[in-house]
Chain A
Amino acid sequence: MEEGAELSVVVSQVVQRLRGTHLHSHLEREAKECLHRPEIRIECLKEDVRNFLKKTGWERKLQNAVYRELHVLPQPSHAAAPPEHTKEPLAYMRKAQACWEKRILKSLNSMSTELGVPLARKRPVREQKELLQKWSEMGTNEPDLSHFRPVYAPKDFLEVLTSLRNPNLDSSDEASCRSHLGLIQVSLNVKDIPEMREFFCELSLEKGQLGIDDHTSFPPDLFESDHICLGKKVLSEQDSAAAQQYSRQGCPTGLRAHLWALILNCSNDPEDVMHYEQLKAGVINHDLLVDNLIYKDVKLTASNDDYYFVFEDYLYQVLLCFSRDTAVLEHFNYSSATPPTCHTKGQSGAEDGTSVYPPNGVVPFHGFSMYVAPLCFLYKEPSQLYSVFREMYVRYFFRLHSISSSPSGIVSLCLQFEKLLQVYLPQLFYHLRETGAQPLRIAFKWMVRAFSGYLATDQLLLLWDRILGYDSMEILAVLAAAVFAFRAENLMEVTSLAAAEAVLADLSTLKVMPLLQIFLFATVI
């Protein structure tokens, strides 16, 4: 009974959300038009129309859209729970997030005052024309950015996370408090290895896996060609759910772009292209303070990266549009974060002079552009690159820089990482801690960026295959722990944080899948 009621709530929510979408009007039009077809009989109208929609692929499109909504639908909470619970059930997490947002906002405002740069301004016509001309080569713009500093870097965020405390925890029970030796001091329910093994069962040693070329039980070539065939079939079926399941064993390079777009339900329709063009017009018309932060970030990260420098111009084309996309605001329904609001003088809009800033509600931080960079290897059309990135962001990446208790949230990942290390490599953990090299201090930046910019791109894409496949970012914590395990011998010899950092400075030679498999399935527990 209970479950049935819950289901009907979900169904009505999804129906509510799909009503008024382009898909809805397309479906309606198709259904109307098919009435003129001879095979549609009046006696069994409903069934014939349904069959027609099925045959023409519209049913699949609807299925995929529903599947997409299910991914971003807030967890149903108890009927008596206040609405903010759908964002984050734990009060102290909500409070910490609000505090953190206040800090960011303050620093944004003071940057604006100190540098005398308005948060937003309309560009003069001449400037608009210039920008339009330079649209695809914005990297050649050399604005003076020396006064701009990133609003925050992962390191600042880590400080906030390590100071998190649960006020309801009885600290008189010292034994339980002391049992965790890591930096994260709150307790959340995170998986141990047996639970991980169950969750990531498709990664087990007996299963074929893209990204592993020395299977013992599988001739890798045979698995690969079989897997490619299967991938083509999944694509021809255009089924999001199947594509997601498929991605757990890895996507073949040649099919990945299509498979990811299918999983994320980003079809690059004319509507998507138009939406992108509108955002582009927004960039042309208005200059935002955060644009400088984006520029600065790209220059500091991707432009110097061996893999991604080629795509510098694409990153601007995506990130500047992203900052203006109010459709992104929807993700705040299920995120612990709340979009910042600012007083923007001379802006039309809200009467009291406050509006969400930046328009998408996301303040970029140092390294933000690395969420986009790897996707540039997959999509050469800026509009498609854009929609795939946006969907990745509103499904996954936002959790990496907001404070929440979600199992894919950064707090859980940190705790997960520390627990894995402490339980399965206690000596190493203890040694590093005593040396003043708390492992999380090193691994944090990897996880905040979902390893982008640290791994070789082919390996990173194999990792992100699994994020999409399992609809979870817990794999990031597992990989971070696995990297420590892999370099354990060298790490046992270090005597300082700097030395430990040096041992782990270059991850570009790592092979992700063997590391994950060995850590998950060949660790003695």
Chain B
Amino acid sequence: MAGKVKWVTDIEKSVLINNFEKRGWIQVSESDDWNFYWMSVQTIRNVFSVDTGYRLSDEQLVNHFPNHYELTRKDLMVKNIKRYRKELEKEGSPLAEKDEKGKYIYLDFVPVTFMLPADYNLFVEEFRKNPSSTWIMKPCGKAQGKGIFLINKLSQIKKWSRDSRTSTFLAASSGKEAYVISLYIDNPLLIGGKKFDLRLYVLVTTYRPLKCYMYKLGFCRFCTVKYTPSTSELDNMFVHLTNVAIQKHGDDYNHVHGGKWTVSNLRLYLESTRGKEVTNQLFDQIHWIIVQSLKAVAPVMNNDKHCFECYGYDIIIDDKLKPWLIEVNASPSLTSSTANDRILKYNLMNDTLNIVTPNGEIPDCRWNRSPPKEALGNYQVLYDEEQAQSDGAERDLRSRSGQALGPKSCRANTLRPVPATWK
């Protein structure tokens, strides 16, 4: 079975194609007998749809999970995380602990969010508690900053709902043009006076058991204009949105660096200005919320063995160095805006392929999904449920002979996955 991998893609990006060609793989068309299909999210819908779908063989691999939208659609992600928190609370898990104000201590990592129009009344109730806050409206199914706007008055949302009642709300009932409204993080960490967000890449090879990898070479995306929380600038999207698709139309967009800063720069800056401990803590927390978001969707995810997925996580850090999960993208852009970007994305694809198609051979989706350390490249293991469980079992044995587990030690054990799994 040492044949060449036959590949198809409907995303004509050189960082992909160069990687396939480097491996000596053979390009075929969609209707041929393929082994590896790097597809858009539109295509994956057809592959797994009841009417048009077809049975994948053991030697076929695709780059999405059938219902990835449970994680990558803004409304569904929030719904799943809310459900996950409630379940943990019901189980009495120490993770679901709340502070005196009723806020989750460990699981409060997504800005308060409501679905519109469905949760309109809940939203109004929350808005009235904090009338001076700013909220951000996003269409559920769109990406790259399209259709996003900010509001800070109830009248604005009323006007919007009137204006769009005929078109949008009708569509919303069919689930297509629904919006989410989230509390806007109006105290973002600023560097050089500018706002930024983090784009991190996470690879999932299986949800049950969960095995995920973090790419070390993420980057920060900077706004070109100085950040101001002033409400007069609510309409200036260059201030608020870091999406390259938005920023590159600004006057100040720089085509040499594209407003992108490596995560290692961020680390150096934070460690230098804030110290090593808080910086490590921040990055640990980022890893932790990513794992929690994946655990939240794991039970509802169709863990099809032919699938893997490389997600683009968007994270904002506030001025207290708390990371917030903003959204997860199923098709992180493979367009390269600068030379460095191109290298990064080429390597990202290279390392991804090295993990999901070991040795560049024809995939066998029944494989154990435990790549050797040498194959990880710039990925590091973020969480490996199997390993964590065996570690946990071991720890259980050890602790049984010792003292009973108090709530404190219990938290220490379960709060964060064993450090060894990502360091």
Interface residues of A (CB under 8 A from B): 136-137, 139-140, 142, 252-254, 256-257, 303-307, 309-314, 376-380, 457-458, 461
Contacts and interface: CB of A to CB of B under 8 A. Distances in A.
B272 A253 contact: yes
Contacts of A461: 272
A257 B272 contact: yes
B269 interface: yes
B142 interface: no
A253 B192 contact: no
Given A254-B271, A312-B192, A307 B225 contact: no
A448 to B, nearest CB: 22
Interface residues of B, number: 27
B273 A257 contact: yes
Contact of B251 (A142, A253, A256): A142
B254 interface: yes
A304 B257 CA distance: 7
B58 to A, nearest CB: 42
Contacts of A256: 272
A137 B252 CA distance: 12
B265 A307 contact: yes
B165 to A, nearest CB: 39
A163 B268 CA distance: 42
Contact of A304 (B193, B254, B261): B254
A15 to B, nearest CB: 36
B257 A309 contact: yes
Contact of B192 (A140, A313, A458): A313
Given A257-B272, A380-B273, A136 B193 contact: yes
B268 A310 contact: no
21 contacts: A137-B226, A139-B252, A140-B226, A140-B252, A253-B272, A254-B271, A254-B272, A254-B276, A254-B277, A306-B256, A306-B261, A309-B222, A309-B254, A310-B194, A310-B222, A313-B193, A314-B193, A377-B269, A378-B272, A457-B265, A461-B272
Interface in B217-266: 222, 225-226, 251-252, 254, 256-257, 259, 261-262, 264-265
Residue of B192, B261, B269, B340 with highest tally of chain A CB at under 10 A:
B192
A156 B349 CA distance: 45
A171 B370 CA distance: 74
Residue of A257, A306, A458 with highest tally of chain B CB at under 10 A:
A306
10 closest Cβ contacts across the A-B interface?
A: A254-B276, A137-B226, A310-B192, A253-B271, A311-B192, A304-B256, A254-B275, A306-B257, A378-B272, A380-B273
B273 A310 contact: no
B191 interface: yes
B122 to A, nearest CB: 38
Contacts of A142: 251
B127 to A, nearest CB: 31
B276 A377 contact: no
Contacts of A306: 256-257, 261-262, 340
Contacts of B268: 253, 377, 457-458
Contacts of A376: 192
Contacts of B261: 306-307, 309-310
A140 B192 CA distance: 13
Contacts, number: 70
B192 A252 contact: no
Contacts of A377: 268-269, 272-273
**Contact residues of A: prevailing secondary structure:** helix
A309 B252 CA distance: 11
Nearest to A252: B276
Nearest to A251: B272
B194 A253 contact: no
B142 to A, nearest CB: 28
Interface string B309-345: 0000000000000000000000000000000100000
Contacts of A140: 225-226, 252
Interface in B128-150: none
A220 to B, nearest CB: 16
Contacts of A305: 257
A499 B119 CA distance: 65
Residue of A139, A252, A304 with highest tally of chain B CB at under 10 A:
A139
Contacts of A307: 261, 265
B256 A379 contact: no
Interface string B272-287: 1101110100000000
A231 to B, nearest CB: 11
A136 B226 contact: yes
Contacts of B279: 254
A379 B273 contact: yes
Contacts of B222: 309-310
B218 to A, nearest CB: 15
A457 B252 CA distance: 24
B278 to A, nearest CB: 9
Given A136-B226, A310-B191, A376-B192, 16 more contacts: A137-B193, A140-B226, A252-B276, A254-B271, A254-B276, A256-B272, A257-B272, A257-B273, A306-B340, A310-B192, A310-B194, A310-B222, A313-B193, A314-B192, A378-B273, A458-B268
Residue of B251, B254, B340 with highest tally of chain A CB at under 10 A:
B254
Nearest to B264: A458
A375 to B, nearest CB: 10
Contacts of A312: 192
A380 B273 CA distance: 7
A253 B265 contact: no
A254 B280 CA distance: 11
A314 B192 CA distance: 6
A137 B277 CA distance: 31
Contacts of A380: 273
A304 B226 CA distance: 17
B217 to A, nearest CB: 13
Contacts of A378: 272-273
A140 B225 CA distance: 7
A380 B274 CA distance: 10
A59 B347 CA distance: 56
Interface in B103-133: none
Contacts of B225: 137, 140
A311 B254 CA distance: 14
A257 B269 CA distance: 11
Given A137-B225, A314-B192, A377-B268, A253 B276 contact: yes
A138 to B, nearest CB: 10
Nearest to B259: A309
A367 to B, nearest CB: 16
A283 B273 CA distance: 27
A376 B340 CA distance: 22
Residue of B226, B252, B262, B273 with highest tally of chain A CB at under 10 A:
B273
